Amino acid sequence: MVDISGFVNKTLEAINNPPVVAQPRPYLGMSKIGHECNRYLWYSFRWCYSETLSRRQMRLFARGHREEDIVIEELQRIGVEVYGQQDGGELAFGHAKFHCDGKCKGVLEAPKTEHLFECKTMNDKAFKAIKKEGLKKSKPVYYAQCQIYMKKLKLTRALFVSVNKNDDDIYIERVKLDPGFANDLERKAEYVVLQSEPPPKEFAPSWYQCKWCSAQMICHYEASVEQNCRTCEFVDLHNEGVWKCSKLKKILSTERQRIGCDEYSVLPCLKP
């Protein structure tokens, strides 16, 4: 028999607990604008649900951030200058925002061209797919992210770097701006933000992405939404990312939106 007396199950359990309830972003993030479901994007923007992340997921996210620094060191070692980390912008009347991993110059294939820099970590399966099929086909959400970032930052090329989490292999692709597609994405962001109720349902609950969607129970099974100002019928959107309460006649800070008030009344379209 294997001696398991040395196993530290209590320590491991303590490390993995408690899970983290992630507060939703105060804006529509452009890292997800390529998602196929506008309805999901609207539920997310309107804070209809909260996501609970395991400590393992938090470690994965942290690793992705650390890997970015390692990739930048590798690029700088070969003469590629990386700068402008977290540069960004806004669109959709200030209700959609983005922050890029950076910009770069000195890419060996086009040294004088300023590139968007985006870095992602992937598991072995996803990494092999992107090497075989390219970014646009294998990771359309990442491709869309690069496109809208390039458009808003007035760039025509992106340097997309992927790192295999299994063996630290690296894949690099230069992505060309598709102006028409990028314009469509900007219009999509405006559409999602301006809707007073969820966009039409396009997918059945059996669709593979619906099975993993955080809004699945709300969308398909009429579960209750979370109570906050964004799901209240008295909230109005204004330019420059401003939210106002038509009942209290007040501009609502992000923190006030999260808390809500006693005058809360759920949007009729969100009632179970």
Asked if 226 contacts 50 with a C-beta cutoff of 8 angstroms, the reply is yes
User: 202 — phi, psi (to 5°)?
Assistant: -110, -15
| Total Cβ atoms within 10 A of residue 12 | 10
**At which of 170, 189, 208 does a domain end?**
189
**At which of 167, 189, 211 does a domain end?**
189
- Whether residue 173 sits in one domain with residue 84: yes
Number of structural domains the chain divides into: 2
- Whether residue 132 sits in one domain with residue 243: no
- Whether residue 251 sits in one domain with residue 171: no
- The answer as to whether 44 is a domain residue is no
- Whether residue 59 sits in one domain with residue 166: yes
**At which of 138, 164, 189 does a domain end?**
189
- The answer as to whether 181 is a domain residue is yes
The CA-based angle 176-178-183, given to 5 degrees, is 145
- The answer as to whether 152 is a domain residue is yes
- Whether residue 153 sits in one domain with residue 261: no
- The answer as to whether 73 is a domain residue is yes
Tokens of 144: 């869309």
pLDDT one digit per residue (tens) for the chain, 272 residues: 666 556 668 888 889 999 988 899 999 999 999 999 999 999 999 999 998 899 999 998 898 889 999 999 999 999 999 999 989 999 999 999 999 999 999 999 999 999 999 999 999 999 999 999 999 999 999 999 999 999 999 999 999 999 999 999 999 999 999 999 999 999 999 999 999 999 999 999 999 899 989 999 999 999 999 999 999 999 999 999 999 999 999 999 999 999 999 999 999 999 98
The CATH number that applies at residue 143 is: 3.90.320.10
Model pTM? 0.93
Q: Which of 239, 258, 260, 255 is nearest to 247 (CA)?
A: 260
- Whether residue 271 sits in one domain with residue 185: no
Range of the domain at 116: 53-189
- The answer as to whether 208 is a domain residue is no
